[in-house]
Amino acid sequence: MEEEKNNGIPRIGSRFPEVEVHTTHGKIKLPDYYKGKWFILFSHPADFTPVCTTEFVEFARMYPKFKEIGVELIGLSIDQVYSHIKWVEWIKEKAKIEIPFPIIADDLGKLASMLGMLPVNGGTNTVRAVFVVDPEGIIRAILYYPKEVGRNITEIYRLVYALQVSDKEKVALPANWYVDKLEWKSSSLIGNKVIIPPASTIEKMKEIEEKAKKKEIEMLDWWFAYKELKK
Residues tagged active-site: 52
Strand segments, DSSP code E, in the chain are 5-6, 9-10, 19-23, 26-30, 38-43, 71-77, 103-105, 128-133, 139-145, 194-196, 218-221, 224-227
- Pairing type for strands 5-6 and 9-10 reads antiparallel
In whole angstroms, what is the distance from residue 130 CA to residue 41 CA?
6
40 and 130 Cβ atoms separated by less than 8 Å = yes
Peptide bond into 50 cis (omega under 30): no
DSSP, collapsed to helix, strand or coil, labels residue 32 as helix
Classify the phi-psi angles of 178: left when phi > 0, otherwise alpha if psi is within -120 to 50, otherwise beta: beta
Phi, psi of 190 (to 5 degrees): -130, 10
Backbone angles phi, psi at 72, to 5 degrees: -105, 155
Q: Cα torsion for 136, 138, 144, 149, to the nearest 10°?
A: -10
Rounded to the nearest 5°, which phi and psi values hold at 14? Answer: -90, 165
